[in-house]
Structure 1
Amino acid sequence: MNLIPNQPYPDLPAWESIEGIFANGWIGHGTRFLRLFVEANNITVSGRLIIGNERRVAGYVPERFWPPVAQSMPAFIQGGPPCIMEFWVGGGLALSNTSLGMTEAEMLTMYAGKDVYISGSYPRRA
């Protein structure tokens, strides 16, 4: 283990970038891209994901990117309204079924197959 001086988490890398994680059976129904950039105290997320047949649009994100508590991030649906994406502690990204004022079934009927864009940041886990 190499300790990095003046870092809040000296045993973790000061930064790490994953770019262009595409569908490998673990990310969801279809992913245009999902980028996670790790800095000293924050993780920045940006992505363009395809809405499938469930509100979870991505899952099984590697554990080092999991938020310390569930996070809500702004998103918008292509050709649709802005909404909220939930980033779960277990590594899943899901559409918030309350942010659109619809049931999950109504939301999926209306927006399945469309792209959803997400952007935000959250504190890094210790």
Structure 2
Amino acid sequence: MKENREIARAMEEAKRAGRKMALATVVRVKGSAYRREGAKLLIDEDGNTVGVISGGCLEPDVAETAKKVMADGRPVLKSYELDEELVWGLGLGCPGTVDIWIEPVPDTDVPSSFREARKAEGVEERKGST
């Protein structure tokens, strides 16, 4: 939940600054992976990111794809076959397949699921201050 609050906060800041954004979400995992379904990464047009979708190996490529998504406004589903022996040469990590949905964040408003995360944050802050 904390990650969603951080993403919601970053969305609000980027919107105030007028920056375009894309949201990458892990939608399917087959085999082993660092993160499970629902993990998210927010990317803004300046290349700032919030969230984590892997152990660091997918984020650069997803950020590049996000630039295209922000430019043309069309979402993309990317599938990654993780074989870290090839990527890192160390034989470490999680060999599996990860599908990631990369979508533009609308200019209109922060999506409702993230607004709810921010509301919950306000409730938690008030509880902690009493």
TM-score class, shorter-chain normalisation, is: under 0.3
User: Which structure is higher in helix share?
Assistant: 2
Could you tell me the TM-score, scaled by structure 1's length? 0.26
Q: Which has the higher contact order (CA 8 A, sep 6+)?
A: 2
Structure with more of its chain in strand, by fraction:
1
